[in-house]
């Protein structure tokens, strides 16, 4: 494995070269790991985060670009390359730039500048034969998923809180949904560090346990720690399957129990013939394929039960064994024929799964204290997490799945060597 350049990028929205560099990096056209930054403040945070960085590639008209940003990079021994389209008349070298790259440019132009001015980051060597070390702890991975609007995120919080109360807080709640809501539900003042940063730290090696834990936050009063999710939905494009799998491994080594709020979309290239769809769903496919228990949440009523059973069917087709699945009806009042018939309806609609899901269907009652707890940041009602924890204890687990997701191999275009 050869050394690569770790490059931070900062540019205006829809700047052409910004997307091109990202595509070159993702496609392997350049030896560059490109890390997109949203703001100058994020650039400063990443420079101070301890990760080895080769260069800062910044647009001449990027918001927040000033001498202080360039000096922050130079103090961190990071080369600064300004991409100049000629719209700004400024002496970039005088305020701290290492080099200026005229726009537009091609792959070779960028690689040549990096070779001249930026240090490559060597790969982390693997342990040699016979290397001794302590036996690694592997935690318990519990996935909470469901259709939109079913209360998946809140129930994931409630379960983490209940389990954390019994294990003195050594439980992690990880937000691995594409539309990550846990930052909002926890009123997080910032979204850095989070999942994006943790996955990026696994590109060229494995961070130590303290670095993994430092990307999470303690949630006071709820007995768990929180890993914030993607900054934006489209950030899935920066995630590679091997890096995501390594990230999950690190979380399970650091925390005895990891509760994951994750989507239920597991379509892959074999299902639709599109590799990009599988790459978009890499978080869900990785977590749901490996989880010891998968809790599937749905609402009552005709549409809610239909959505729940459809999700159960899709997960069964993906390979999630019914023996490690717990259906949950969220918001039950416990009154009326509709709720009494719901478990039977679930069994009828997923009969081909070959397992009696009705016996394990959990109903979680509606509780008026939920909104107040979310608003005030206090503990969630115990009535939400207790039924889920009880179901976990009684579920006949098929054992921890170590299913590995294959890294998708793009189809070779006609006329190109394969």
* Domain 5-117 identical in fold to domain 140-394: yes
Assign domain 140-394 to a CATH class.
Answer: alpha beta
The domains of the chain are located at: 5-117, 140-394
Q: What is the pLDDT along the chain (418 residues), one digit of tens a residue?
A: 467 899 999 998 888 999 899 889 887 888 998 888 888 888 888 887 777 899 999 999 998 888 888 888 988 889 999 999 888 888 889 888 999 999 899 999 999 999 999 988 876 544 444 334 444 557 899 999 999 889 999 999 999 999 998 877 689 999 999 999 999 999 887 777 899 989 988 876 788 888 999 999 999 899 999 999 998 999 998 888 888 999 999 999 999 999 999 999 999 888 888 888 998 999 999 999 999 999 999 987 778 888 998 999 999 999 998 888 999 999 865 444 455 555 565 655 555 444 556 667 888 988 889 999 999 999 999 999 999 999 988 774 444 444 444 444 444 444 443 4
Q: How far is CA 226 from CA 170, 200, 262, 293, in A?
A: 11, 18, 14, 20
Q: How far apart are CA 211 and CA 205, in angstroms?
A: 12
Are residues 357 and 327 in contact, defined by beta-carbon separation less than 8 angstroms?
Answer: yes
Q: How far is CA 79 from the centre of its chain?
A: 29
Q: What residues have CB less than 8 Å from 151, skipping those under 6 apart?
A: 297, 299, 330, 331
**Residue-level pLDDT at 133:** 41
The architecture in CATH of the region 5-117 reads 3-Layer(aba) Sandwich (3.40)
Looking at residue 356, its pLDDT comes to: 56
Angle, alpha carbons 278-202-18 (nearest 5°): 65
Cis peptide before 193 (omega within 30 of 0): yes
In order, the DSSP letters of 56-120 are EEEETT-TT-SHHHHHHHHHTT-EEEEEE-SSS---TGGGT-SEEEESS--HHHHHHHHHHH---
SS (H, E, C) 289-352: HHCCEEEEEEECHHHHHHHHHHHHHHHHHHCCCHHHEEEEEEEECCCCHHHHHHHHHHHHHCHH
Pull the structure tokens for residue 58: 């910044």
């Amino acid at each position: 494995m050869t050394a690569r350049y770790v490059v931070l990028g900062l540019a205006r929205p829809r700047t052409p070269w910004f997307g091109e560099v990202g595509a070159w990096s993702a496609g392997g056209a350049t030896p560059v790991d490109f890390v997109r930054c949203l703001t100058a403040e994020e650039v400063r945070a990443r420079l101070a985060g301890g990760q080895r960085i080769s260069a800062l590639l910044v647009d001449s008209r990027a918001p927040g670009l000033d001498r202080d940003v360039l000096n922050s990079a130079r103090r961190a021994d990071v080369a600064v390359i300004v991409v100049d389209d000629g719209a700004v008349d400024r002496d970039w070298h005088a305020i701290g730039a290492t080099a200026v790259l005229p726009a537009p440019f091609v792959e070779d132009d960028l690689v040549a500048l990096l070779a001249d001015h930026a240090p490559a980051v060597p790969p982390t060597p693997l342990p040699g034969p016979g290397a001794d070390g302590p036996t690694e702890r592997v935690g318990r991975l519990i996935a909470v998923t469901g259709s939109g609007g079913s209360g998946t995120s809140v129930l994931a919080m409630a379960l983490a809180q209940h389990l954390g109360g019994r294990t003195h807080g050594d439980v992690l709640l990880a937000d691995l949904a594409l539309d990550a809501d846990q930052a909002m539900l926890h009123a997080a003042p910032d979204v850095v560090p989070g999942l994006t940063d943790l996955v990026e730290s696994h590109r060229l090696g494995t961070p130590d346990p303290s670095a993994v834990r430092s990307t999470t936050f303690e949630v006071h009063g709820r007995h768990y720690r929180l890993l914030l999710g993607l900054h934006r939905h489209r950030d899935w494009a920066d995630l590679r399957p091997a890096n995501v799998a390594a990230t999950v491994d690190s979380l399970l080594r650091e925390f005895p129990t990891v509760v994951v709020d994750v989507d239920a979309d597991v379509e892959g290239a074999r299902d639709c013939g599109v590799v990009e769809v599988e790459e978009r769903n890499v978080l869900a496919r990785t977590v749901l394929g490996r989880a010891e228990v998968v809790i599937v949440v749905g609402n009552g009523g005709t549409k809610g039960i239909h959505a729940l059973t459809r999700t159960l069917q899709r997960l069964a087709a993906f390979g999630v064994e019914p023996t490690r699945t717990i259906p949950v009806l969220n918001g039950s009042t416990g009154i009326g024929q509709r709720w009494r018939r719901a478990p039977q309806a679930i069994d009828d609609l997923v009969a081909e799964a070959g397992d009696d899901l009705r016996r394990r269907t959990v109903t979680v009652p509606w509780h008026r204290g939920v909104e107040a707890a979310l608003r005030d940041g206090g503990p969630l009602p115990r009535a939400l997490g207790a039924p889920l924890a009880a179901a976990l204890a009684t579920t006949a687990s098929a054992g921890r799945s170590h299913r590995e997701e294959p890294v998708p191999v793009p189809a070779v275009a006609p006329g190109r060597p394969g």
